[in-house]
Amino acid sequence: MTDLDQAPAPAAAQSEQARRTFLDVGGMTCAACVGRVERKLNKLDGVRAVVNLATRTATVEHAPTVTVEQLTGTVEAAGYTAAPKSPNPRRAILAEERERRDVLRRLIVSLVLFVPAADLSIVLATIPSTRFPGWQWVLLALSLPVVTWGAWPLHKRAFLGARHGAATMDTLVSVGIISATAWSVVTVLTPGRERPDPHGFWNAIIQSDPIYLEVAMGVTVFVLAGRYFEASARAKAASALRELATRGAREVSVLVRDGSELRIPVGELREEQLFVVRPGETIATDGIVESGSAFVDNSAMTGESRPVPAGPGEKVVGGTVCQDGRLTVRATAVGEDTTFAAMLRLVEDAQATKARMQRLADRVSAVFVPCVFAIAALTFVGWLIGSGIDSAVKSAIAVLVIACPCALGLATPVAFMVASGRGAQLGVYVRGHQALEATETIDTVVFDKTGTVTTGVLSVAAVSVAPGFTEDAVLRLAGAVESASEHAVARAVVARAGSDLPAVEDFRAVPGLGATGTVDGAAVRVGSPRFVEPGVLSAAVAAAAGSGRTVAVVEVDGAVAAVLEVADTIKADAADAVARLHEAGIRTVLLTGDNTAAAAKVAALVGIDDVRADVLPDGKVAAVRELQESGLRVAMVGDGVNDGPALAAADLGLAMGTGTDVAQSAADVVLMREELSAVPDALGLARATLKTIKTNLVWAFGYNVAAIPVAVAGLLNPLIGAAAMAFSSFFVVWNSLRLRRFGAR
């Protein structure tokens, strides 16, 4: 559930016609900017907005009566730029690259002028006898290009904010730079005001002369350096997601009626069209292979580079790569309906959420800048009364430039952005911060069996036929009914029955039990012994259950016809995945509708602690709630239709991406890998991300709490304060980037 879902939206926004719009927002530099944009947007009737500083994106859910022009106009009226998010991620990359180059140009020029100015200032402050006539004018000439042209983006955003009654980090920095420059100019124009007495190198660093030109230059350089690093780090943080977003094919070769091929943009491809994929090409969209065979690299979706074979009848996913063969594929989903698009939406929706910790930071940031200005003013007055104008100016400027609301704003979104990208590389997609926060207290993981702990690729290992029936006839009838079902056992029965099956009428699935239908006029029921009484074949059922196999009983016109024994294979990494969970102190439970013997055998081979078998879908929900009522925090892992309610009921739902849409829509985390190791990977990544976010916030809060009093006490040269402020943001971003290495072996 996202922040947009949690907010009490107006009735208009809750209608079926409610829309979601993504806006690129320019000019935001700190959490105060985020709070201002959110407040302005949320004042519109029928609008709920969440703004992300790291991605510079506003996610807006609005009534159809609210236009995109109104949304962008509201953001612009707040002093920022806004435009609908481009569907082409390459355009956003180019725009950010232009911004980085502009910052870099200003940084290089400012740094070239700052270094000699700083050296000269330190020498002149340390050894006053070296001061030569006109030295002040030399410093002024070196500083003016830096504090005007170099710092222009800061002044511009501060001015725009002031026009709209807003104060942000840029306001703090701009006022600090202007104040230092203005006071220095006054000092230069008032001969004899600079201190003539030597005060040593250390005092030159800790304190300062009344001429603060090197301070104004240094603040500009450090802020520009921080902005450039932050922009570069954001690009690195989003690189995995952008790689995912740009992997889709641009063009596709479709087959026309005469058998020839026509190259068209992938956006023009339609469902049921046949298209050709050659070696090395990206598969344009989801589909079913009609002819040909090849190995397909699914790493774009699953994070696993191991190629998988694809042949006639096999499903392929758009965005994956055909390695070595030629495939003819029938499109089954296009555009926004593809798996690829769904995964991108998961990431976008996740970015539109905020953790509880970040919401606290946002509330603090809303009053942070005004409080800093108030503290700076009080500091100025206090030092003016106690020590004079020079100390008052120095201390007030130090307060302005040491404060860093930027670190508060970046603490959570940058970490989550990096984690989202790393998760995509690992085939793990987290829906939002609520899912992350839930992982912190999880102490029990409940697994579905078929398709989760086992491969789900079942096969009919044996058929016991009742007198009066033949195996072929029973399989033909059972296969016809099961052809309408998505269950793994049903697929095994269909595979054994063959492809030439009659149509089924009056089909009805009974979740967790079986299915019924009419085939060639005969009433057919296929399901577990709890659904279809085995009667004369009870011994066959008992023998199959004793060997750990799943049993399906077939009934035709009220008479028991056959018992089908279905065998499954445990996933190769299941035991290792369970062991990793145990190492993390997490208890494991196997929850299945299968018989007790089959479930117990699987649990013993894998090492699962507890087994609950013969459980119906509503029984799975009851089992999850029973565990919760006993004080446990439960994560549920499943893949089938019958797992949906339990996934939704659990404290954290993890759906295998190879499972059904119902399971995925009910889950908090989607695992695109078939391997069960994705479960400890997902929990581990989520916990590592939470730890990173907490470290970031502790640093961001702690830094400001400790640094501002030091500046108020007059113990801080504003130049050192500017460097510390830049380092604060640097630390938050660097700490977040460490998540890119999570799980690297």
**Cα 98 from Cα 643, distance rounded (Å):** 48
Dist. CA 548–CA 743, nearest whole Å: 35
CB 268 within 8 A of CB 284: no
Cα 636 from Cα 682, distance rounded (Å): 13
Give the span between the Cα atoms of 216 and 435, in whole angstroms: 45
| φ/ψ of residue 744, rounded to 5 | -70, 130
Closest CA relative to residue 24, chosen from 65, 2, 72, 56: 56
In this structure, are strands 315-316 and 57-62 parallel, antiparallel, or unpaired?
A: unpaired
Residues near 409 by Cβ (< 8 Å), separated by ≥ 6? 30, 31, 32, 33, 34, 53, 361, 362, 365
DSSP string, 180-227: HHHHHHHHHTSTT-S--S--HHHHHHHS--S--HHHHHHHHHHHHHHH
Helix (H) or strand (E) holding 612: strand 610-612
Total H helices, total E strands in the chain: 28, 26
Q: What is the enclosing helix (H) or strand (E) of 415? A: helix 413-425
Instruction: Report long-range pairs for 485-491 (Cβ below 8 Å, ≥24 apart).
Output: 485/509, 485/515, 486/640, 486/641, 486/660, 487/515, 487/640, 487/641, 488/450, 488/451, 488/456, 488/457, 488/458, 488/568, 488/640, 489/450, 489/458, 489/550, 489/552, 489/566, 490/515, 490/526, 491/458
- Please state, in angstroms and rounded to a whole number, the distance separating the CA atoms of residues 583 and 12: 49
Is 448 catalytic? The answer is yes
Partners of 508 in beta bridges: 516
Tell me which of 209, 297, 390, 448 is the catalytic residue: 448
- CA 675 – CA 671 distance, rounded (Å): 9
Nearest to 701 by CA among 361, 299, 366: 361
Q: Do the Cβ atoms of 493 and 477 come closer than 8 Å?
A: no
The enclosing H or E element of 32 equals helix 31-42
128: left (phi over 0), alpha (psi -120 to 50) or beta: alpha
**Sequence-distant (≥ 6) Cβ neighbours of residue 191 within 8 angstroms:** none
Structure tokens at 625: 């709630």
- Beta pairing partners, 514: 510, 527
Q: What is the DSSP letter of 739?
A: G
- CA dist 216 and 114 (Å) reads 10
Q: Which residues pair with 509 in a beta bridge?
A: 515
Q: Which residues contact 101 (CB under 8 A, 6 or more apart)?
A: none
Q: Which two tokens stand for residue 128?
A: 């006053």
Phi, psi of 360 (to 5 degrees): -65, -45
Radius of gyration of the chain (CA): 33
3-state secondary structure of 525: strand
CA distances from 522 to 371, 478, 500, 555 (A): 80, 11, 18, 10
Name the residues annotated as catalytic.
Answer: 448
